[in-house]
């Protein structure tokens, strides 16, 4: 059936999906089981490294996939590229929102402990919020254009612009500004107090969540292709009905 629906074969999809589920389950167990050194203020929340940071890695991967398909769409005009770009961005932004929410909660009980502050316009958090708004505008833009070809083209151009802001808003600018977030020294995920043993769970977590992204993204792409196919069949039927 792969010639009708140009996505990964069903068997390959199911295999990767099952591996991702087992992989992430093992990762969650390891995230709590692995002993880590006690650090003041952070305490057990150091374990959030395994959950909060991969959200942003996944967003980066999704944005990359999305921009790739937008570029291919501008070259080919193939509707599947537009679908793929939109769905990769949608799943990616979902991970971004989770990254922001988990970050807000984490900061409330570390940076802002004893102050009852939830949000203090920390540059890194603010930039992340702006980035998500830029992608929010991408979906509003898509919804506001009815003609599929026009929508595809304008959305693709905007999406490439949006992707090009990601390195600046998430990497370059926050490192230039005073922030409570680790990273001003160079690496936002690891600092000199991060125990090397944490990498054993962190890297598998990043791979696992990117795998989860792929599963959700493929799921949505399959659904969208099916919708398009139904539309096509309907259209064919109508035109045949007219000529008969």
Residue 113 interacts with other proteins (CB under 8 A)? yes
Provide, rounded to whole angstroms, the least separation between the CB of residue 102 and other proteins: 5
Residue 219 interacts with other proteins (CB under 8 A)? yes
Angstrom distance (rounded) from CA 190 to CA 49? 9
Residue 226 interacts with other proteins (CB under 8 A)? yes
Residue 147 interacts with other proteins (CB under 8 A)? no
Nearer to other proteins, 110 or 157 (CB): 110
Provide, rounded to whole angstroms, the least separation between the CB of residue 187 and other proteins: 20
Nearer to other proteins, 12 or 237 (CB): 237
Provide, rounded to whole angstroms, the least separation between the CB of residue 192 and other proteins: 18
Residue 52 interacts with other proteins (CB under 8 A)? yes
State both tokens at 227: 């919708």
* Selected range binding other proteins among 35-43, 138-146, 157-165, 179-187, rule: CB under 8 A: 35-43
Q: What is the contact surface with other proteins in residues (CB under 8 A)?
A: 28, 31-32, 38, 40, 42-45, 47-48, 51-52, 55, 91, 94-95, 97-98, 101-102, 105-106, 108-110, 113-114, 116, 212, 216, 219-220, 223, 226-227, 230, 234
């Amino acid at each position: 059936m792969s010639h009708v629906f140009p996505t990964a074969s069903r068997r390959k999809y199911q295999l990767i999906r099952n591996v991702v589920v087992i992989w992430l389950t093992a990762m969650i167990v390891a995230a709590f089981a692995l002993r880590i050194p006690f650090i003041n203020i952070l305490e057990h929340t150091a374990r959030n490294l395994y959950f909060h940071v991969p959200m942003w890695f996944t967003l980066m991967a999704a944005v990359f996939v999305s921009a790739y398909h937008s570029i291919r769409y501008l070259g080919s005009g193939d509707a599947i590229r537009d679908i793929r770009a939109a769905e990769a961005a949608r799943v990616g932004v979902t991970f971004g929102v989770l990254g922001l929410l988990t970050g807000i909660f984490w900061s409330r009980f570390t940076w802002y402990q004893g102050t009852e502050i939830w949000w203090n316009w920390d540059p890194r958090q603010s930039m992340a919020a702006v980035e998500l708004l830029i992608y929010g505008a991408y979906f509003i833009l898509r919804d506001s254009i009815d003609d599929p070809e026009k929508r595809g083209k304008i959305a693709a151009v905007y999406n490439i612009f949006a992707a090009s802001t990601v390195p600046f808003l998430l990497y370059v600018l926050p490192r230039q500004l005073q922030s409570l977030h680790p990273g001003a020294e160079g690496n936002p995920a690891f600092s000199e107090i991060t125990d090397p043993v944490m990498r054993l769970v962190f890297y598998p977590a990043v791979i696992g969540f990117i795998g989860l992204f792929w599963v959700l993204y493929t799921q949505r792409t399959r659904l969208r292709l099916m919708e398009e196919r139904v539309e096509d069949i309907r259209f064919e039927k109508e035109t045949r009905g007219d000529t008969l």
